[in-house]
Amino acid sequence: MLESVELKSFPTTRYQGSKRKILNWLHENLKDLEFETVLDGFGGTSSCSYLFKKMGKTTTYNDNLKFNYFIGKAIIENQDVKLTEDDIKFVLNFRKSSNGFIDKFFKDCYYTEAENQWLDSIIKRIEKLTGYPENELEYKKALCYYALFQASLRKRPFNLFHRKNLYIRTNDVKRNFGNKTTWEKSFESEFRFFADEANKIVFNSNNNCFALNQSIFDVDETGYDLVYLDPPYISNNGTNESSDYLRCYHFLEGISNYSNWNNLIDFETINLRFKKDIVHNDFDKTNIHNSLDFLFNKFKNSKIVLSYKIGGIPTVDELEVLMRKYKNNVEVKSKHYKYALNKQNGNAKYNREVLIIGT
Domain residue limits, the chain: 7-358
CA distances from 172 to 95, 168, 280, 348 (A): 31, 9, 40, 38
Q: Other C-beta atoms within 10 Å of 315: how many?
A: 13
Q: Coil, strand, or helix at residue 188?
A: helix
> Tell me, what amino acid is at 218?
D
Asked if residues 60 and 213 have their Cβ atoms less than 8 Å apart, the reply is: no
| pTM, 2 dp | 0.93
Judged against a pLDDT cut of 70, whether residue 178 lies above it is answered with no
* pLDDT tens profile 68-116: 999 999 999 999 999 999 999 999 999 887 789 999 999 999 999 999 9
% of the chain exceeding 70 in pLDDT: 92
Distance of CA 285 to the CA centre of its chain: 22
* Per-residue model confidence (pLDDT) at position 5: 78
Sheet containing 58-62, strands listed edge to edge, beginning at the edge strand earlier in sequence = 210-212, 58-62, 37-40, 226-229, 303-309, 352-358, 330-336
pLDDT tens figures, 308-323: 988 889 999 999 999 9
Give me the sign of the Cα torsion angle 168, 172, 175, 180.
positive
- What pLDDT is recorded for position 189? 97
Higher-scoring residue by pLDDT: 83, 244 = 83
The Cα 108–Cα 97 span in angstroms is 18
